[in-house]
Amino acid sequence: MPTTASSSVSHRNPRLRYIAGVVLLAAAYIVAGRVGFTASTIHPVISSAWPPSGIALAALLVFGVRYWPGITVGAFVVNVTGGIAPLACAAIGVGNTLEAVVAALLLTSVGAFNLSLHRRRDVFGLVVAAIVAAPVSATIGVAVLTLLGAEPGLPFGAAWLAWASGDAIGILLVTPLLLTWWTAPAQQPSGRDVVEGAALAVSLVAFSLVLFEAPVSFVYTIFPLGIWAALRFGPRGAATATFVVAVIAVSYAVQNVGPFTTSTHVNDLFRLQTFLGVLAITSLIVSAVMAERRTAEAALETSRQQHRDIVHYASVGVYQTDPNGNILLANPALAEILGYDGPEQLIGRNVTDQVYLEPAQRPALISKYESFGTREFDLEVQWKRRDGTPVWVDLHARSVRAPAGHTAYFEGFVYDLTGRKRLEDQFRQAQKMEAIGRLAGGVAHDFNNLLTVIGSCTDFILEDPALPTNHRSDLTELRKATDRATSLTRQLLAFGRTQVLRPSTISLNERLIELSPMLKRLFEATIEIDLQPGLHLWNVRADPGQIEQVLLNLAINARDAMPKGGTLTFKTENFVVTSERSASDVEYVMTPGDYVLLRVRDTGAGMDEETQRRIFEPFFTTKEVGKGTGLGLSSVYGIVKQSGGYIRVSSTSGSGSEFLIYLPRTRATPDKIVPRPHRQNGRASGTVLLAEDEPAVRDALYRILTAVGYTVLQASNGAEALELFAARKGNVDLLITDIVMPVMDGRELARRCVDLKQTLKVIFLSGYTQDSLLSQQTFEDGTEFIEKPFVRDAILERVETVLRA
């Protein structure tokens, strides 16, 4: 079956790969051993440098200790072919295998060895492993040869040392060569590297041929070339150069030529091995030192780059100055905060003179903190932008001390607080306006009840035909004063957002066009009105009458700002507020969404910052005494806010002003405004249940309604009214109720009464309080109400209209 065959192959392949690896290692060991025997100078099986030791250790380090049988087989074969008895060959093979295994385990288990030899600890580990492991093979091998009598004329100690040092030299020469070429990443050398490598190779071979052929010993002059290879080409270059020099040196020594043939064979051997060992260790250490240095430099450069990136891409300003305040370092965020095109424009500038809004502030701050012995400080200060505009920043800074104790430089982080400060100012202003609005609404509510009584009683007296003329004149003036007071209270209610709105879907373009004839009548011929209706303008949801009041108040304000004439522009457009445009760093924070923007711009005298800050406060005016109440723009502010919109002003002294009104978009179609029919003269009929907790207001309404023929039932609170209605619901045609009453409010009363009689008509009395019928003082469509203070004709017309409906 396919599954069985696939499973068999998967099990067989690793085994085959392992066997092939063992065979290849044994073959390599045999070839290297035959070459190693040619380097024997004092005994046929004791080599000056034993290459198989290096091959064996490299193989176990790269492929794993489990390949040790390849060493045993290779060592046995190479010694058998060298004329040694099979039993002795087996023992020597065991020694060679143990040597490689001990060295490999020592490096991998104890020293955390890295095959690339890029660390000094790896080079030292390799040297220690060679010194520790080589005696294992030497002890077994020399002991076997001694027992067989195969080393005539050579003391045991000398033979043992020669064997051990030969194996150690083999490890130091061959293992680094194989490891560095195996682990070094493949990369395309540059042309310069190729030329330099060729020059080094030629110099190395040429110098070696000269040095090792001459009988005079100048062999250590080859070291600069080995160091050159180590410095420029790393551990691979060092290992390769050392191996080339060793091959040439041993070749001449075997031929009994050169500086290592001037003494006894044993002395010459040890001198040669000492030279090769010192050359190998020196070159590898130098290359490791350079590799570590390059690694450290690369890490340092990476750290510096990371630091530069952090500073460069930080969202907060980063700076560094010398003790005198000269900027040494700045990042793009700081340049943006201060209004510069880039950080390079800040370098060298002095923060005391060119950054702090008040130059004396920085020395005072430094003196203050240093007197406390504080090196770190966190405070809010005012800086200035390049154009001189003030900017609030949160400064987190510290002084960095030199070893001598004085301040070397200052550094810190800068957070732009301008947006937050603007929000805080807006919040405080909103709180103040809200508090004033509550006060105004409360006062207006109480005054409305009083004005209702005053106006109603005045009308009652004026209806007396026998009233003397002088009294009629006085009462007429009293009626006019009452009307003016009523207008003022309505403006206060508009500012406090406690008036009752009757919203509908309207088009600002249509409102402007309908209102333009009236606006033109308000102005002198020297003032030109420019209407710029936006194309495809969205609709808004607002009270048409209140929007007209907004337009009139803004027009009158603009007229007063242009006593010598000018141009008044009304412009509408669609406006989309995104999350970016409503962020805290912009001038005005708005809820994202679709808005209709109305711009009212004049060419008048303009306003300074203080005036703009207080322009919407009630009773604040820049006009002469007697020429304004200071409530016009306040009522505009309240109407816009109550309609869910936003308003702001943009102005400069001498350059005119522009009011910007944002009203939320609605997707409903415009409502058709139907005028109310006028009241018909004559007697009326019907029963009205009147619920009002203010006795004087209740009495005034009673007199007005009964005078024209209505039957009126009176109740001083909601519970009393409900009891009356339950007893006479069949006769009651209309309920007139105040919204806020003790025991039961007007909303609950109306709901219960309508539950008892579905056809009952309801009119609410609006007291303009915060506890009105609906939130934001907005009635639902179709809800009827009577505003306080009311006049006789208006209330009779409303009652007749509701009953007729």
**Residue 351 shares a structural domain with residue 373:** yes
Coil vs helix vs strand at 67 = helix
Residue 297 within any structural domain of the chain: no
**Residue 210 shares a structural domain with residue 353:** no
Read off φ and ψ for residue 401, nearest 5 degrees.
Answer: -90, 145
**Residue 52 shares a structural domain with residue 196:** yes
Listed in sequence order, the residues at least 6 apart from 446 whose beta carbon sits closer than 8 Å to its beta carbon are none
Coil vs helix vs strand at 127 = helix
Residue that finishes a domain, picked among 246, 276, 291: 291
Residue 6 within any structural domain of the chain: no
Each residue's pLDDT tens digit, 507-552: 999 888 888 888 777 776 778 888 999 999 999 988 887 888 888 8
Query: Could you give the CA distance from residue 652 to residue 425 in angstroms, rounded to a whole number?
Result: 20
**Residue 403 shares a structural domain with residue 445:** no
**Residue 468 shares a structural domain with residue 531:** no
Domain that holds residue 481: 430-491
Report CA 578 to chain centroid distance, whole Å.
Answer: 18
According to the model, what pLDDT value does residue 151 have? 53
Q: What is the mean pLDDT of residues 417-434?
A: 74
**Residue 286 shares a structural domain with residue 140:** yes
**Residue 642 shares a structural domain with residue 780:** no
Bridge partners (DSSP) of residue 766 are 787
**Residue 526 shares a structural domain with residue 624:** yes
Residue that finishes a domain, picked among 291, 307, 334: 291
What is the CATH classification number for the domain harbouring 529? 3.30.565.10
- Tokens in use for 622? 């820049």
Q: Per the structure, how many domains does the chain have?
A: 5
DSSP H or E segment with residue 455: helix 418-462
**In this structure, are residues 428 and 442 in contact, taking their beta carbons and an 8 Å threshold?**
no
* Of 14-28, 302-316, 658-672, highest mean pLDDT: 14-28
According to the model, what pLDDT value does residue 683 have? 75
**In this structure, are residues 441 and 490 in contact, taking their beta carbons and an 8 Å threshold?**
no
According to the model, what pLDDT value does residue 227 have? 92
What's the Cα-to-Cα distance from 386 to each of 339, 355, 389, rounded to whole Å? 5, 8, 7
What is the CATH classification number for the domain harbouring 339? 3.30.450.20
Query: Could you give the CA distance from residue 119 to residue 724 in angstroms, rounded to a whole number?
Result: 103
CA proximity to 315, closest of 288, 337, 348: 337
Listed in sequence order, the residues at least 6 apart from 471 whose beta carbon sits closer than 8 Å to its beta carbon are 461
Residue 245 within any structural domain of the chain: yes
pLDDT tops 70 at residue 630: no
Residue that finishes a domain, picked among 362, 387, 416: 416
Q: How many CB atoms lie within 10 A of CB 468?
A: 9
Q: How many CB atoms lie within 10 A of CB 638?
A: 29
Query: Could you give the CA distance from residue 803 to residue 795 in angstroms, rounded to a whole number?
Result: 12
Give the relative orientation of helices 632-642 and 469-495 as an angle to the nearest 10 degrees.
Answer: 50
Laid out side by side, the sheet with 327-330 consists of: 327-330, 317-321, 407-416, 390-401, 376-384
- Tokens in use for 224? 């600069």
**Residue 466 shares a structural domain with residue 412:** no
According to the model, what pLDDT value does residue 778 have? 47
> For residues 546 and 173, which has the higher predicted lDDT (pLDDT)?
173
Give the relative orientation of helices 68-80 and 2-37 as an angle to the nearest 10 degrees.
Answer: 40
pLDDT band at 5 (very low <50, low <70, confident <90, very high): very low
**Residue 696 shares a structural domain with residue 641:** no
Residue 300 within any structural domain of the chain: no
- The half-sphere exposure of 606 on its side-chain side, counting CA atoms within 13 A, is 9
**Residue 87 shares a structural domain with residue 148:** yes
Query: Could you give the CA distance from residue 370 to residue 243 in angstroms, rounded to a whole number?
Result: 64
Query: Could you give the CA distance from residue 325 to residue 504 in angstroms, rounded to a whole number?
Result: 62
What is the CATH classification number for the domain harbouring 741? 3.40.50.2300
Residue 508 within any structural domain of the chain: yes
Report CA 603 to chain centroid distance, whole Å.
Answer: 43
Secondary structure of 529-543 in the HEC alphabet? EEEECCCCCCEEEEC
**Residue 555 shares a structural domain with residue 636:** yes
Residue 549 within any structural domain of the chain: yes
- Tokens in use for 313? 């891409």
Out of 221-225, 403-407, 442-446, which region has the weakest mean confidence (pLDDT)?
Answer: 442-446
Out of 75-79, 524-528, 658-662, which region has the weakest mean confidence (pLDDT)?
Answer: 524-528
Each residue's pLDDT tens digit, 554-613: 888 888 888 888 888 999 999 998 875 544 444 456 788 899 999 999 988 888 877 877
pTM exceeding 0.75: no
Residue 7 within any structural domain of the chain: no
Out of 33-47, 147-161, 434-448, 726-740, which region has the weakest mean confidence (pLDDT)?
Answer: 434-448
Residue 479 within any structural domain of the chain: yes
